[in-house]
Amino acid sequence: MHGAAYVCVTRERIFFRERRVSAVTYPFCIGVPPEWAYQRCAFPHLLLLRHRTTPKSVKWYNDGSLSRINATPMSHTVHEQIARSTVPSVTCGIITISDTRTPETDTGGALIRTMLEGAGHQVARYVVVKDEPTQIVAYVREFADAGCQVIITSGGTGIAKRDSTFEAIDALLEKRMPGFGEIFRVLSYQDIGPAAMLSRATAGLFQRSLIFCLPGSPAAVRLAMEKLIVPELAHLVWETIR
């Protein structure tokens, strides 16, 4: 969702254009990137948060229920700058799904941890679990209840008889992000060719936690983390809380 180049800030909410109101409580005058400036407006209890590159001409009006802004769309870059300022670090959980791996041999899980921590995020929970749907679901629920904003699973996304991650996780998802799996398979095709179609990598939202299901191959894990997850993690989490 695009916001607006002009954002109306109160002590509780950010109001965006076109009758839409953000759902997140935004700290008053806290965590705003330096390229945004505060400007007084016609309403005494509000401040106008204006991007420095945006012209100062803006029309305020009141429809009787919500003070709104007639403004131009916010650029993708500005959108992500606000997200990274609001969500500087993400609390994550890692679930490796394998019938054979152990914490000592889990190269994929170790790679996920290294890349998350290298980007400034925190790994709060980690487990290696058998490819059993009931166990997978139990740990996802436990991690979500523990406050993990992002849960990344590795393994069990193929079509072999024991691969059950997709069914277990998909049944939990309240909102799905089909674009993740689609883009991942396109990128994977460039590396391994038609075999990329065997991957059922997926992502979506469960309660307030984002879940990413990756293949077990370290090469596939690196591809997904490097090209998709790590660059957008703060932005994605911000979208779930605003």
pLDDT tens by residue, 34-90: 444 444 444 444 444 444 444 444 333 333 333 333 344 556 677 677 877 888 899
* Mean of pLDDT values over 24-31: 38
Domain extent, residue 53, equals: 6-82
Is 135 domain-assigned? yes
Distance CA 111, CA 170 (A): 24
Greatest extent of the chain over all pairs of C-alpha atoms, in Å: 65
Instruction: Examine the domain organization and report whether 132 and 172 are in the same domain.
Output: yes
Tens digit of each residue's pLDDT (9 = 90 or more) over 173-223 = 999 999 999 999 999 999 999 999 999 999 999 999 999 999 999 999 999
Q: How confident is the model at residue 29 (pLDDT cuts 50, 70, 90)?
A: very low
pLDDT at 61: 34
pLDDT value at 131 more than 80: yes
In a 13 Å sphere around the CA of 209, the CA atoms on its Cβ side amount to 26
Structure tokens at 79: 């959108």
Instruction: Examine the domain organization and report whether 169 and 52 are in the same domain.
Output: no
pTM given for the model? 0.71
pLDDT at 107: 97
Distance CA 229, CA 183 (A): 11
**Three-state DSSP class for residue 165:** helix
pLDDT value at 161 more than 90: yes
Is 95 domain-assigned? yes
- Residue 123's nearest CA partner among 132, 111, 133 is 111
What is the residue-averaged pLDDT of the chain? 78
Distance CA 115, CA 74 (A): 30
Instruction: Examine the domain organization and report whether 101 and 170 are in the same domain.
Output: yes
Is 1 domain-assigned? no
* Cα angle 137-173-235, degrees, rounded to a multiple of 5: 115
pLDDT at 75: 62
**Which residue would you say has higher pLDDT here, 102 or 24?**
102
Q: How many CB atoms lie within 10 A of CB 36?
A: 18
Is 70 domain-assigned? yes
